[in-house]
Amino acid sequence: MGSHLDKYLIPRLGDVLLEQLTERRVQEFVADLSRAEYVVPNKKKTRKKLSPKSVRNIVGVLKLVLGKKVWRDWSIVLPEIPRKEQRYFTEDEMRRIIEGSRGQWRVLFATLALTGLRAGEAFGLHVEDVDLEAGGITVRRSVWNGEEVTPKTKAGYRVVHIDAVLSDLLKEHLNGRRGGRLFQTRTGTPLSKGNVRRKLHETLRALGIPRGGLHAFRHGRVSGLQSRGVPSDLVKEWVGHSSLHTTSRYTHFGDDYKRRIASSLSLRTEEELRDGPHGPPFQEPEGLSESR
């Protein structure tokens, strides 16, 4: 929100009186944001074209500033968000990424893949948040721009249960260490998303895996759990979603999985299908016609 205010709202609307922020003026603002190149007022530079989602987010911040009483009767036309499936890592891709990584990176990528934690939540983990005996990770905080903050939502405070594979990796990674951050730089500071993303992209290129971001682990974890029949309420709890609607948007099924499921749902054998929907044709018992 601060970024939207500093880069777009204040430069363009900062000197405008609230009563002058009419529906028409805001619609013109939306049109400017949607241009191929957005000109920053009072500055001799332009910014690259904003995505429809970014424009909607900026207008959302403006609405928070104005209050619902001001905009509730408006009919602002916002750019349509193209339907594009979010990139997610398949279970095979996540397995290859883990096997193709070394040291702390291997453990970090395994944690993201096997828990579905947000990247910031993984960066915010401390050693005491991990209970290897009980097989659980407690999410209490997140890291944003190098600073520890609270989880994204109330549902973000949670315990994520882990399997023996990840438990063994974490035990080896800690090597008896009882304090500090679970994942950290050489100086003990939190990891930054930019550096971790660059390392992930290097790994993907080396493995020949199509490019994907850190969030692709989270989408992949949700999809894997759903495809294995894990109850949706439990998936929602583990990944820290506030609603099942959000969880469903993180669920992706590959074509192979869909074909396999379709093949397993056949209700009739090949012989039954040949006989038709009502079974084999009726045949009178022998001798019945002659008795008539």
Segment 144-170, tens digit of pLDDT: 988 999 998 899 999 999 999 999 999
67 and 113 part of one domain: no
Residue 291: pLDDT above 50? no
Residue 292 above 50 pLDDT? no
Residue 180 domain flag? yes
My answer on whether 109 and 19 are in the same domain is: no
Return the SS3 of 244: helix
Write out pLDDT tens, residues 15-25: 999 888 899 99
Please give the model's pTM, rounded to 2 decimal places.
0.72
Do the domain assignments include residue 174? yes
The per-residue pLDDT for range 89-126, each reduced to its tens digit, is 999 999 999 999 999 999 999 999 999 999 999 999 99
Mean pLDDT along residues 238-259: 92
How many whole angstroms separate alpha carbon 196 and alpha carbon 74?
A: 42
- The residues pairing with 131 across neighbouring beta strands, listed in sequence order, are 136
CA distance 3 to 55: 13
For residue 117, how many other CB atoms are within 10 A of its CB? 27
pLDDT above 70: residue 33: yes
Token duo for residue 63: 């609405």
Percent of the chain with pLDDT over 90: 68
Q: Tell whether 133 and 174 lie within a shared domain.
A: yes
With tokens 């949607």, the residue in question is 34
| Separation between Cα atoms, residue 191 and residue 104, nearest integer Å | 11
Tell me: do 103 and 178 sit in the same domain: yes
pLDDT tens figures, 50-64:
888 899 999 999 999
**99 and 200 within one domain:** yes
Residue 157 lies in a domain: yes
Residues 47, 114, single domain; the answer is no
Taking a C-beta distance cutoff of 8 angstroms, is the pair 189, 146 a contact?
yes
Total domains in the chain come to 2
276 within a domain of the structure (yes/no)? no
Report whether 258 contacts 251 (CB < 8 A): no
Domain presence at residue 187: yes
Q: Are 36 and 49 in contact (CB under 8 A)?
A: yes
Is residue 78 within 8 Å of residue 51, measured between CB atoms? no
Q: Which domain holds residue 129?
A: 94-209
- Tally of CB atoms within 10 A around 25: 13
CATH code of the domain containing 160:
1.10.443.10
